[in-house]
Amino acid sequence: MYDRPRRARAVFVLLLLLAAILVTVDFRQGPGGPVDALQRGATAVFGPVQRGVSAVVRPVGGFFGSLGELGSLRGENERLGEENQRLRSQARAAEGLEEENDGLRATLAMAERCGCPTVGAQVVAHAGSNFQWSVTIDVGTSDGVAEGMAVIDGDGLVGRVIQVTSDYAVVLLITDPSSGIAGRAAGDRSTGLLRGQGEDRLELELLQPDAEIAEGETVVTQGYADSVFPAGIPVGVVAEIAPAEDLVRRAAVTPLARLGALDTVAVVVDEASSADGGQNADTQASEGGR
């Protein structure tokens, strides 16, 4: 009994050591290491459950909204109320389907515009962390998804796949501070690096100090021969240009994708054709971005 505080302290120190070892192992391992395998296992196990929960939660929000209206009904009214509610939930489900349909159409239109083959996906979970901006989607290697692939929604670039299991994938959003994407102004050809800022803003670091860039201009992805990112996907709109202090010019960019309310997205699955068809996609996307 009396040694309990000491025992708690010993266990606590052991836990800290264990955590420190895990951090070290995680740092040293390459892709496919033991901790990486654990992470993919966790995503594989939690993905289906998260999908279930988010599928349940969406209508429940609306259900609670309508409960207040039904509260005063009794007896006969109750039966009618139940029927009413059932009809309402059907209508709401139809509304949800319509919304989903719209989202899918918009995403499809975006995919067609960039001329790249895509796989549609539903967002099943968000990171829920203050240090990582990512979402889990319900497609994986069995749908042809691989690490590094670009993810878009109906409005623009969402992020990049950073982890993939057979049926689920984790997407690092473009707003994550560790996210860096090669981009360029759609009109002018000045290129730069788009960095996440952790909030709903991106920073564009222009490589050419004399680059001509204007507020309101669309920024699109820049493709390279060996890059999995197709060129010409709209990323955001220049919101503010920082005064030129040093050699690097910076501009704040507002993302086009609705990152705060992601629901239906698409993964650009074919990297090969995007590099070839990049030029074509470029012009189409710049026109569409205007």
Partner 1 sequence: MSVPRPLALAGLVLAALLVQTAVIAPLGLPVASPDLLLVVVLAVALTTNPLTGALVGFAAGLLSDLLLDLPVGLSAMVYATTGYVLGVLRAYLVSEGRLVPVVAGVLATLGAVWLTGGLLLLLGQGDFSWQLLARAGIAAAVYNLILIPFVYPLVRAVVDRSGPRRTVPW
Nearest CB to partner 1, comparing residues 46 and 288: 46
Give me the least distance between CB of 141 and partner 1, in Å please.
Answer: 17
Give me the least distance between CB of 79 and partner 1, in Å please.
Answer: 32
Element (H, E) at 10: helix 4-28
Say which residues have a Cβ less than 8 Å from residue 52's Cβ, sequence separation at least 6: none
223 burial (CB, 10 Å; 0-12 / 13-18 / 19+) is buried
Nearest CB to partner 1, comparing residues 49 and 244: 49
Nearest CB to partner 1, comparing residues 36 and 188: 36
Give me the least distance between CB of 12 and partner 1, in Å please.
Answer: 4
Of 157, 165, 135, nearest in space to 232 by CA = 157
Nearest CB to partner 1, comparing residues 199 and 246: 199
Contact positions vs partner 1 (CB under 8 A): 4-5, 7-9, 11-12, 15-16, 18-23, 25-27, 35, 38-39, 41-43, 46, 49-50, 53-54, 57, 123-132, 134, 136, 162-163, 170, 172, 177-178, 195-199, 259-262
Give me the least distance between CB of 131 and partner 1, in Å please.
Answer: 6
CA atoms within 13 A on the CB side of 7: 4
Ramachandran category for residue 105: left, alpha or beta (phi over 0 → left; psi -120 to 50 → alpha): alpha
- Is residue 266 within 8 A of residue 111, CB to CB? The reply is yes
Nearest CB to partner 1, comparing residues 23 and 91: 23
